[in-house]
């Protein structure tokens, strides 16, 4: 494992990077929308292992699905702290690909494209992948959803998000600073 990590540190690698909860912050927006529509507190803290819908009354816990399917939802999400600078630095040394399971929410396709163009203009169209299953052939995958690591043969970095805090079997990164420490 050490040899593998040493190897992957010095060689130009292909790195697949997820969007939601890794580059973009949808949770912040969910909370704002639930607050606007149902008075859910803005300082809502999502407990380890939970999704946002575990913290709202049952009769509105599927509203997130309406929010996420609406045009515009993904267009103005906040950028996760440190992501822009980190991707610039990774790109100097590695081949960086954005790999988002956007196909589940077809109304997100254009929003996500334009969001990337606004915040990550240095990522060209050849390096953007909107998919369902992440059957990409890269050396590294950075993702908050462990299900995307199934069948992936490379090194996986689980990007910390409340919903994955109870998982212990993956190499974890809590923020973009830690990603750079591991991959540069």
* Active-site residue set: 18, 20
Residues of span 22-51 touching its own copies by CB under 8 A: none
User: Is 28 or 114 the residue whose CB approaches its own copies more closely?
Assistant: 114
- Residue 40 neighbours by CB distance under 10 Å: 19
Q: Is 148 in the site for its own copies (CB under 8 A)?
A: no
- The least distance separating its own copies from the CB of residue 128, rounded to whole angstroms, comes to 5
Site track 62-81 with its own copies (rule: CB under 8 A), x = hit? --------------------
- The least distance separating its own copies from the CB of residue 92, rounded to whole angstroms, comes to 19
DSSP designation for 42: T
User: Is 10 or 125 the residue whose CB approaches its own copies more closely?
Assistant: 125
What are the structure tokens assigned to 134, written together?
């992440």
* Ramachandran area for residue 144 (φ above 0: left; ψ -120 to 50: alpha; else beta): alpha
Taking the C-alpha atoms of residue 29 and residue 35, their distance in angstroms, rounded to an integer, is: 10
User: Is 34 or 139 the residue whose CB approaches its own copies more closely?
Assistant: 139
User: Is 14 or 35 the residue whose CB approaches its own copies more closely?
Assistant: 14
Taking the C-alpha atoms of residue 161 and residue 173, their distance in angstroms, rounded to an integer, is: 10
Site track 100-139 with its own copies (rule: CB under 8 A), x = hit? ---xx-x--xx--xx---------xxxxxxxxxx-xxxx-
The answer to whether residues 19 and 112 touch, using CB atoms and an 8 Å cutoff, is yes
Place of tokens 């300082």: 43
Q: Tell me if residue 133 falls in helix, strand or coil.
A: coil
- The least distance separating its own copies from the CB of residue 152, rounded to whole angstroms, comes to 8
Taking the C-alpha atoms of residue 44 and residue 107, their distance in angstroms, rounded to an integer, is: 27
- The least distance separating its own copies from the CB of residue 117, rounded to whole angstroms, comes to 8
DSSP designation for 143: E
* Residue ranges that bind its own copies, judged by CB under 8 A: 14, 97, 103-104, 106, 109-110, 113-114, 124-133, 135-138, 153
């Amino acid at each position: 494992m050490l040899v593998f990590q040493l190897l992957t540190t010095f060689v130009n690698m292909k790195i697949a990077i997820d969007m939601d909860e890794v580059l973009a912050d949808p949770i912040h927006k969910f909370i704002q929308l639930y607050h606007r529509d149902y008075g859910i507190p803005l300082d809502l803290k999502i407990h380890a292992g939970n999704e946002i819908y575990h913290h709202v009354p049952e009769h509105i816990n599927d509203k997130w699905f309406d929010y996420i399917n609406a045009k515009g939802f993904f267009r103005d999400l906040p950028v996760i702290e440190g992501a822009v600078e980190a991707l610039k630095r990774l790109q100097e040394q590695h081949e960086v690909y954005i790999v988002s399971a956007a196909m589940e929410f077809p109304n997100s396709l254009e929003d996500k494209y334009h969001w990337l163009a606004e915040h990550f203009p240095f990522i060209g169209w050849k390096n953007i992948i909107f998919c369902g299953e992440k059957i990409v052939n890269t050396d590294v995958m950075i993702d908050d959803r462990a299900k995307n690591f199934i069948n992936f043969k490379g090194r996986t970095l689980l990007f910390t998000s409340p919903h994955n805090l109870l998982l212990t079997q993956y190499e974890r990164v809590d923020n973009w600073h830690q990603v750079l420490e591991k991959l540069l």
